[in-house]
Structure 1
Amino acid sequence: MEILEEAQRLERAGHDIVHLEIGEPDFDTPENVKAAAIEAIKSGFTKYTPATGIIELRKAVAEKLLKENGLKYDPKNQIAITCGGKHALFLAMMTLVESGDEVIIPTPYWVSYPDMVTAAEGTSVFVEGKESTGFKITPDQLRAALTPRTKVVIINTPSNPTGASYSIKELEALADVIVAHPKAIVFSDEIYERLLYDGAEFKSFAALRPELMDRTVTFNAMSKTYSMTGWRVGYLAGPADIMKAVADLESHETSNPTSIAQKAALAAITGDQSSVETMRKEFDRRRLRMVELLNAMPGVSCQKPTGAFYCFPNVRGAIDKVVPEATGNTRSAKFCDKVLEDIHVALVPGCGFGNDDCVRLSFATSMKNIEEGLARLAK
């Protein structure tokens, strides 16, 4: 968000900024979703709702999880609607993690995970997803990181920031490790599940092994799938005892998600899904072009992402050339600052995701922006 604010400041000063940093679809919210929100306003659906969301939406989420993910949850006490996916994760973290607890976070990670752990007074344990393994951790790495103090293991596939996705076989191997450690709870962040490419597979972590259903909390949101980032509607589903504690916290924290946005989310989940595939196909086209252009640059190498809408190229050679004076573990930040200042292209430094050799670029923007931004970078 700091990068976006600085880019917008430069725009206000008259500079032509190419935004490759923003992690949100450039498509409009589907018309049926907007219409549902307008109808909610017109009909006066503008009051408090139950803390965990209207039962119609919770039922729709339950039906979606059963039909698409093979997960059976009771909408009355095992599903909560939240003010975005970030809020869902934060609620669960604050509910479960206490001082002395460890939370295993594979790197590169979504930037908010460690701060959530810190807010809950837990300890982040980072496990490196190496470039040589496609930015994915191995069962042996996970096994070595698990201790009697492990409370939560975070799994995010497809990944923000790398766009990597685990195969079902790879997930099953991780699941077998976790099954052997019965005190560990899995946070399965599945927000990019519908954005897959090159035949990549997806399976919810809770569906991998019967033993994990009661030890997994599943997270998702409307933001990426339906281009609803500003509407702030997410959800989580899990064991009834955990969800009771989540509901209690949510009732005191936010009272309820916005009533109007809940009606919009209901229309998104239950309505025509063709817009999702239209968006995915266009992202796929942009993905291929971005990877091609990045790999043509000296000092840059980019693995082809199989999910989400991000590329996470290694730019170590470019950093050495552009900011040779940069030292420490924030060299990518200095590189991105220089790129924004000199050629007015906004990128996200990898140091915020736990890998200082890389930067994140989003292809959830127009092909024109991709072509122009990478042409400037190539120079």
Structure 2
Amino acid sequence: DDLKGKINKRTKMVIINSPHNPTGEIIGKKDLEEIAYLVVEEYDSLVMSDEVYSRILYPAGSKFESILQFPGMLERTIMLDCHSKTYAMPGWRFGYGVGAPKYINAISEWITNTSACVPGFVQKAGIAAMERDQTCVDEMVKEFERRRDLTVKLFDGIDDIYCPEPGGAFYAFLDVGELCGKGKKFKNSTDMQEKILHEAFVSTLSGTHFGIKNGYEKTEPKEYIRLAYTVSQEEIKEGHRRISDYLFNSHYNSL
């Protein structure tokens, strides 16, 4: 229903991201089917499906649902994936798109004149990652699940912070609305991000980096910070200690 209010006959493309960055939310099969119906039957739109976290699902081993499975979607969907998440290759910028030839050919012409190609050694590394045993990926997802459970348990236990359980990816998106605003510890989530970094030495990202504006809209809090549980469980515990101590101990010393 929310999507229906945001698209119309002039909409050229609907972009979906599941599992989602920064929330870890997953678009369920029923919702994907409804989106497919809208773009095929009502609006004749394209879909760009960002599926870069498709193999990082919880519980580990869960089946990923793609919008490509529904009638009419193969010819109107551009699916995006990359090696940055699945094979821990961030920064190497090795990604790819799959879609109908007319769209991929147009994209290829544009890329040829903007970024040329992925460096050769990165391409070889990507091929090696795909050709070898995938057990390492499965084991890493299991470890991410343990880190997720720890992160949710620790940060949801902090007063005035709500940490929902993500269904995929490796981020926790904390609702910190109760800590932000007039007369509170932080002006907004951007202020919180900066102070936690410089005073508690923990790196987070404000929800504003993902298009969520600072401030309140009616009664719904719009203040969030994102945590990435891509570090060890011990580092997660230490990050929690520093943030918790900073929030509630006026004599806090991070070291």
Aligned residue in 1 for 2:88: 227
Question: CA–CA distance in 1 between the matches of 2:163 and 2:35?
Answer: 26
Which amino acid in 1 is paired with 2:38? V
Which structure has more helix as a fraction of its residues? 1
Contact kept in structure 2, 1:187 and 1:219, CA below 8 Å: yes
Aligned residue in 2 for 1:26: none
Aligned residue in 1 for 2:151: 290
Task: Name the SS of the counterpart of 1:268 in structure 2.
Answer: helix
In the alignment, structure 2 segments of 5+ residues that lack a partner are 215-222, 246-255
Contact kept in structure 1, 2:173 and 2:224, CA below 8 Å: yes
Question: CA–CA distance in 1 between the matches of 2:85 and 2:141?
Answer: 10
In the alignment, structure 1 segments of 5+ residues that lack a partner are 1-139
Contact kept in structure 2, 1:167 and 1:202, CA below 8 Å: no
Q: Over residues 141-178 of structure 1, what are the superposed CA-to-partner deviations in whole Å (9 max), with x where a residue is unaligned? A: 11221122211111100000001112212211222222
Identity %: 36
Tell me how far 1:319 sits from its aligned partner.
2.5
Which amino acid in 1 is paired with 2:130? I
Aligned residue in 2 for 1:12: none
Determine which of 233, 238, 254 is the counterpart of 1:367: 233
Tell me how far 1:269 sits from its aligned partner.
1.2
Q: Over residues 51-89 of structure 1, what are the superposed CA-to-partner deviations in whole Å (9 max), with x where a residue is unaligned? A: xxxxxxxxxxxxxxxxxxxxxxxxxxxxxxxxxxxxxxx
Contact kept in structure 1, 2:54 and 2:64, CA below 8 Å: yes
Aligned residue in 2 for 1:352: 209
Contact kept in structure 1, 2:11 and 2:43, CA below 8 Å: no
Contact kept in structure 2, 1:231 and 1:261, CA below 8 Å: yes
The yes-or-no answer on 1:205 pairing with 2:67 is yes
Task: Report the aligned-residue RMSD.
Answer: 1.4
Deviates more, 1:269-278 or 1:195-204: 195-204
Contact kept in structure 2, 1:220 and 1:235, CA below 8 Å: yes
Aligned residue in 2 for 1:274: 135
Structure-1-length-normalised TM-score: 0.59
Tell me how far 1:182 sits from its aligned partner.
4.4
Aligned residue in 2 for 1:59: none
**RCO (CA 8 Å, sep 6+): is it higher in 1 or 2?**
1
Structure-2-length-normalised TM-score: 0.87
Aligned residue in 2 for 1:243: 104
Deviates more, 1:268-277 or 1:248-257: 248-257
Which amino acid in 1 is paired with 2:85? K
Structural mapping, 1:1-379, within 5 Å: 140-198=1-59, 200-207=62-69, 209-320=70-181, 321-323=184-186, 326=187, 331-355=188-212, 356=214, 357-379=223-245
Tell me how far 1:183 sits from its aligned partner.
3.0
